Amino acid sequence: MSDIFLTFEKFNDPELAATIASQLDMHGISSRIVNEAPVFDPTFANNNFEPTIQLKLRPHDFSKARIALDQHYQEQLADIEPDYYLFSFSDAELLDLVKNADEWGPLDYALAKHLLAEHGSPVSPEQEASFQQERIKILTKPESSQLRWIIAGYIAAFFFGGLAGIILGYILGYLKKTLPDGHQVYVYSSSTRKHGKRIMVISVIFSIYWIWSLMKVSLAPWMKPL
């Protein structure tokens, strides 16, 4: 069995993450809770409010976990306060939530389906599966062009070398994202990834050159013939 754990959900509240982990454990799904506040934002989103508490599962457990959590929260719907914000959503907004379930928590997903059914617009299992497949297709598409970061990467590689160029090159060339079904795909297009790999190679070469140059200057006095 694979020991690789990937991020299933993100939270700001560690207690909520622990509650969901406990619920999954009851269904035989192993999990890990980690706090991974990034020093460098690999998505370039500059979002200081990004949740850092991550609930991680084995990739093959993703679909099973979503079904288990959906069933669990369906049983909790009667206890939701009447002023909960989803009650003010229109049917169109609720349907959009169902279509983009990965952007919402399992409670919101379960409640949105419940409210649509109450309003006479139930989401059938076939529709639910279709929405999930369409969402996977959308998320699989690579991010838009990263021209400014490619340029920044080449500048860092040629003129500065070192860690900055290597990090930028690695991010552009190798960064992956985890899909709602547990599969991983590259974040950026093949052309962007090629640039990223070149930036990494150039950065390493120039780093070695600058280190060698500094060492040569530092050792010069000791290398003079007596």
Residue 44's pLDDT is 53
| Amino acid occupying residue 226 | L
Q: Largest alpha-carbon pair distance within the chain?
A: 95
pLDDT digits (tens, 9 = 90+) for 87-104: 999 999 999 999 999 999
Q: Which residue has the tokens 């989803």?
A: 86
pLDDT of residue 100: 95
Domain ranges in the chain are 6-140, 147-223
Residues in the chain with pLDDT < 50?
1, 226
Q: Please count the other Cβ atoms lying within 10 Å of the Cβ belonging to residue 174.
A: 14
Cα–Cα distance, 222 to 64 (Å, whole number): 66
**What pLDDT is stored for residue 1 in this prediction?**
46
Per-residue pLDDT, 210:
75
Which among 161, 196, 154 is positioned nearest to 175, based on CA atoms? Answer: 196
Confirm whether pTM is higher than 0.85.
Answer: no
